[in-house]
Every structure is written in structure tokens, then in C-alpha cells.
Amino acid sequence: MSANWLSSIHHDGSDRYVSNLYPRLGQTVRLRLRVSHQASVHRVILRTLPNGEQRLSPMQRGATEPPAQWWESELLIDEPSVHYRFIIEAADGIWHYSAAGLSAHVPLDRTDFRILADYDSPGWPLETVFYQIFPDRFANGDPSTDPRPEEYEYRGHRPMTYPWETPPPPDQLGPLVFYGGDLPGIESHLEYLADLGVNALYLNPVFTALSNHKYDVTDYSHVDPHLGGDDALASLRRALDARGMRYLLDIVPNHCGYWHPWFQAALANADALEAEFFTFNKHPDDYASWLGVWSLPKLNYRSLELRRRIYDGSNAVFRRWLLPPFSADGWRVDVANMLGRQGETQLGQELGRAIRRAVREGRPDAYLMGENFFDATDQLQGDQWDGVMNYDGFTHPLWNWLRGYKQGAHGLAEPLRGPRWSSETMVTAWQSRLAAIPWVVACRQYNLLDSHDTARIRTIVGGNDALHRLAVALLLTFPGVPGLYYGDEIGLTDLPHVKQRGCMVWDEARWNKPLRDYHRQLIRLRRESVALRQGGFQVILTEADTIAYQRDSTTERVLVFAHRGQQPRPAGGLSLAHAGVPDGTHFVDVLGGEEIRLRDGVLPLPEVAQGALILRQVA
């Protein structure tokens, strides 16, 4: 028996393989495992770990649907998180198959597939394509609220509002460079966003603060007047409702601004109630702050009163903005990886669970998404964030494959640099992150190509239009919730004076219109395709410059090919026996319109130019 049959082994948490993705405690689900119908498999054993003790249960041979042979078993969901994996007894030995993949050795329990009982995350993010907006740079809807220099002083500098897209003078402090973008400006361009196809917004912070980025909040209770104030946010909510769209607010619970009344009270009096909200090594000048930045004092969640004000009280910040008239659909939590963590005090997971409870009590269908550039798997087990900004599990591996490895950190003068990752390395990174969390959580990860904190994707790929499109295709077909950064769809790049936070260009003559049309086409595909929104994920090809994967549901398949090479991948036949695709399956190229049919287990692939090829099954 050829070892090639091993690549046909597949299971994931999607509905083709698990009969009920959201079981209640005490219910039974039916699991399915797919292998080649030609494999000499004697037995398949389901390995579970009820109450910490191993159980081995023979599976039943199910339907034979060439090229697939199915194995099936019932699984009782009698714990909050039920672990399982498969042991395959074949002619060539014993194989173990867990979420981490196939191995001859016994894998660690932490690599098991997992099903969560009574999982309470909202379903609407699965139907959503987000659009991230940095409010000051999107559109100026009301110039009368623009920041003016006489309003305040910030360490010898004053705020200045410049004409749209005009570079500021080099001596102007970056956080005080304003262009007057506001919430009325966003509302006035909702038709543009609806035409693009996005159906939810993620807004960078809108609460009162001195800077343009507003992560130095001075008042959690009000929308910054320069953005239009509370009434403007309520108006935006109504306008979004009229178009069937949603939005997330961005909250900064890890730190506040130096001029927040809480911190000013703590500075003035070491015995003030608010003094316990912060960590003073020596009052008043030596205090803990975000990465040592003096203007961002870190909040200390040993204080029960702080917890009451931020999330626990009936009118706490996390709760009140989910209620009318603002009715936010959820939160993006800034630096969620650092929240409640100060040396010997490590409250991060405790706070994550408590914030989740508070948000669910306020609005059961709210989406709770955290910022985390690193390994967030401990926060993604179903009891804390619904998802995180998936830099580690999607974005960074893709960047490393497209442009070469680069890794920096605060305090490191020169980033680490290396050659482009191989296709196998990128795929291994992706799969390891998917394997470390339950499937239903993986489907809610916020995937992105870039953000206000990174270079723009078009800059990352050196302005290469084909590679930009390739990245967009992967974003909109990968498991999880896709999020676009404003202006990427028209080809914005980093600028010397404001980097990735440039003003949105509203002169259509300067748009990359074919690129925008490409976004519209793939966003429409994403929103139409059950397989892309909720289907399984199987890598079916890794070559030097090419990767391909399958997204499949019970009703549909989509095959995605991404080729980074300057020279096209030659046309030729590709065997899909290991993907379980039945002979005669008919596909259409969603970007080019050509039709392709699988014959004798082989798909006659056309030449694949630099970029992406997406094949969707035709009914």
C-alpha cells in the first residue's frame, strides 16, 4: 500500500465531519473521518479522555463514496470541552491523527480536536466582512468640529487640523496631526461601503482623548466632540441599521491617558480612591505605564472599584455602549495580551472571563475580539475572547511567505530579517494555530492583511498588484472573519508623513478601480459561499511557490490556489483523490469564468499566473 493514502486522512470541526457544531451539555454528536476508499485500513479507534482517563472506542465503517471511505462514531458531549483524536490501524502500521495532523507517535493531549458544550458565541460574525476605519483619516463630515490649536496644549504642542491629504510640517507632533475625519464623515460614505460589499465596521477609538489615535482616553463616557460627540455615534447606529450593517467599538481597558480624571486624582492625592487604579512605584512620578510610555498609565485590576467601573457595574464602560442609543455590536479590546498583567500579578485570563460574562449579560450576541500580535491560544478556548486579530495565525505567516521573514519588538533597534518562508513553513504555521483552538473559535478569528499598527499590505508586497490580489484572495477564503483596512481596496500605500494612517482618497480618478472591483467580486463570493463562511479546511498542495487548499461544506466545495512566483505555474493535471472530491465534479473559475471538470481523479489545472485561482463547485 502506498504511503500516499495518508494524505487522504482528514477531519476538522466543520459540519461535514461533526453533526452538531454547537451541542448542549449531555447531547451526542456524530463524528466522521475521511480516508481513501483504496486504503487498507483495518480499524479506526476514537480516542477520548473522559474525566482524565483514556477511552478507546472502535468506529464504524460508514459510506463508501469514491474516492472517500467514511468512518463514523457517536460522541457524548458530557464535559465543557470534549477532547478526541483518531487511531488508525492499517496494513503499514498504527497512525495517530489529531488536530495537529498525522503522526506515528502518540501526540500530546493538547493537540486533540475539541468540541465545546454550550458555546455562546454569536453567529453573525460568520456572515460578516469587516472594514476597519481610523476615524480622523476617513472623511471629514463636519469641519466645524475640527480640532483647533487654541483648545489645548500637549507638552508644548497644540493640535492642528490640516487640509485633507496635506503633509504636516516635520516639527508637528504626530499624535496632534489632525485632518478632521469624524463620524458624520463615515455616515456620509456608507453607500460606498455597502457597494463594496462590507457589512460591518470596526472603528478605532472614538472616546474623548487628546491624540488623533485616541488610545490615550480621557473620558470613557463620551464620544470625542471632534468626532461629532455622542449624538453622531447614535446617528451612525441608525444609519447602519437602515442598511443592515453592524459596528465594533475599540476600547482601551489596559491603560488610560495621562490627563484622564482618574489619573489626575491619583497624582494629586496618594490616598484618593482612584490611586488604587494605578501602580505607583514612588508617588507621584514613578508609575507603571504601557511599555514605559509616560502618557499611558497602566490600569491596575487588583482594584475592585476599577473593575466595577470598567466592566462589572451596571453602567460600566463595557456594558453601557452596547445599549441604545449606541447599541454597539461588540468590542475590539486593545492590547488584550497585556490586560491585567503586571509582574507577579497575572489577571489576564480572569479578566477575560469576567469581561466576557459582563458583555454577554449586556448583549448576548456581541462579538468580543481582542488585539494580540502573538500566541493567543490560551485566550481562545471558548471562555474569553470570541477571536483575536489573527496576526500570529494568518497575517504574519503570509507576510513572511510573500516578502521574507521580519520580526521586530519594542526596544529592539534592528529587526530580525530572513529569507522568504517556504510554502511548507507557512502552511505549517497556519495549521499549528488552527489546531491549538476549537474549530468554532477558529471560525471567529478576525483575519487581516494589515491595520493601523502595521505597514499596508500594498507596501509590504512592494506595490506588486498581483501579490496584493493574492493576499486579498487568501484573506477572503481562509477560515475566520475577514477584515479589510480602509483604503486598501483602492491601492493606498504607506506615506512618509503619516505612514499607514493616510487620508482616504475620495477622488475616484486616483483609485485603482480594477483592484476595487476585485475586492467587490471576492467579497460577494465570500458572502454567497457557505463553504467559505463556515466550511472545513484542508491543504491540498504545497510547492515551492504555490499553495492550495479546499474549503468544503455539506453542499459546496471551493478550491483556492495561490502562486507567488513571477513565472506562471505550468498547466497540468492535479490529482484530488486525497481531497475526497468525487469524479465528475464540475468547477468554475470564479475570476475568469472557465469551467473545469474532474476526470479519473485528476483536475486539469490551467496555467496559474502570479496571484490566485479560485475554483467553485458548480451544482
Catalytic residues: 334, 371
**Which residues have C-beta within 8 Å of that of residue 481, sequence separation ≥ 6?**
125, 126, 128, 129, 130, 387, 443, 444, 445, 446, 447
Q: Of the candidates 238, 254, 236, which has an alpha carbon nearest to the alpha carbon of residue 138?
A: 236
Please provide the DSSP assignment of 532-571 as one string: HHH---EEEEE-SSEEEEEEE-SS-EEEEEEE--SSPBPP
CB 33 within 8 A of CB 17: yes
List the end-to-end C-alpha distance of the chain, in Å, as a whole number.
34
- Crossing angle for the helix pair 513-528 and 465-475, to the nearest 10 degrees: 20
Q: Of the candidates 267, 249, 362, which has an alpha carbon nearest to the alpha carbon of residue 313?
A: 362
In angstroms, how far apart are the furthest CA atoms of the chain?
81
Neighbours of 304 (CB within 10 A): 10
Q: Identity (one letter) of the amino acid at 405?
A: Y
3-class secondary-structure state, position 579: helix
Cis bond upstream, residue 67 (ω within 30):
yes
Output the nine-digit C-alpha cell for 480.
475566520
Strands 41-48 and 81-90: antiparallel
Strand partners, 604: 573
Spatial distance between the Cα atoms of 473 and 612, rounded to a whole number of angstroms = 7
**Which residues have C-beta within 8 Å of that of residue 569, sequence separation ≥ 6?**
543, 545, 546, 561, 563, 605, 607, 608
Q: Identity (one letter) of the amino acid at 54?
A: Q
